[in-house]
Amino acid sequence: MDSEVTALAARIAKAERLTILTGAGVSAASGVPTFRGQEGLWRQYRPEDLATPQAFARDPLLVWEWYACRRERLAACRPNAAHDVIAAWSQRSGCRVITQNVDDLHIRAGTRSLIRIHGSIWELSCWQSCAQGATPWRDETIRFESLPPRCPYCGGMARPAVVWFGESLRGENLRAALDATSCDLFLTVGTSAVVYPAAGLVHEAKRRGAFTAEINLEATPSSGDVDVAILAAAEDVLPRVASLMNAAE
């Protein structure tokens, strides 16, 4: 693995256009449960059971309870070494970061040019998509007085402003993410690479000529297609890559 880490450091150092795609594994060391890991279940529900418009229509209280629990847990979490390295690289011109994570830990670490393709758990929007409430607003309340919280514009139900299964990404985010696949190096970190369209971005980057790399604790459906796959924890590997780059400067 050492030679792969060294090779990745050399590639990142010389990449003029670096794009990083992150998933839940990047936040694991901060104490945020991954979706498909052992802690991914809430009560007996899988994310796919609750993170859908159908689930919200059927039982908005249940879905909001799940989000309220996750917001409470997240409020105690801090960015880890992986977020910090990505935030430092994001200061370089030509670096773009796409995240599937809704926890905003990249923002708290100071990441620039961040494309949050699945939205933010700290933002709400109107369930009925009323004229003003269709645009997400930020609300970091941990304990809402009552669930579900209300849309301040029309008084209807508010929903988490995240992308649920079966929903489309916001057009501007999809365009920005696709644009970011035109790069010299496309690095995916801590994603199981099974949820599309995010999982397709690395293939699009490769098609457009990028060198592709993956950092993950275990092999994913993309591992066989990328140029370098490093099987290790993001919070260990990224600081090693960064220090090799600093030493070579």
Instruction: Give the contact letters, 79-108, x = binds to ligand OAD (CB under 6 A), - = no.
Output: ---------------------x--------
Of 13-21, 62-70, 105-113, 216-224, the window that binds ligand OAD (rule: CB under 6 A) is: 216-224
Residue labelled with tokens 């993001």: 234
Which tokens is 196 given? Answer: 């599309």
- The conformation of residue 200, written as its DSSP 8-state character, comes to G
| 197 touches ligand OAD by CB under 6 A | no
Which tokens is 53 given? Answer: 């418009």
Q: Which listed residue (28, 63, 86, 238) binds ligand OAD by CB under 6 A?
A: 28
| 228 touches ligand OAD by CB under 6 A | no
Of 65-73, 103-111, 125-133, 210-218, the window that binds ligand OAD (rule: CB under 6 A) is: 210-218
- Least gap, CB of 163 to ligand OAD (angstroms): 5
CA gap 97, 72 in Å, rounded: 26
| 106 has catalytic annotation | no
| 188 touches ligand OAD by CB under 6 A | no
Q: CA-CA distances (angstroms) from residue 230 to 47, 77, 101, 218, 220?
A: 27, 26, 21, 9, 11
Could you tell me whether strands 114-116 and 185-189 are parallel, antiparallel, or unpaired per DSSP bridges?
unpaired
| 25 touches ligand OAD by CB under 6 A | yes
Could you tell me whether strands 211-216 and 228-231 are parallel, antiparallel, or unpaired per DSSP bridges?
parallel
Rounded to 5°, angle at Cα 116 from 203 and 210: 25
User: Which of the residues are catalytic?
Assistant: 118
Q: Which residues bind ligand OAD (CB under 6 A)?
A: 23-25, 28-29, 34-37, 47, 51, 100, 118, 162-163, 165, 190-192, 195, 215-218, 220, 233-235
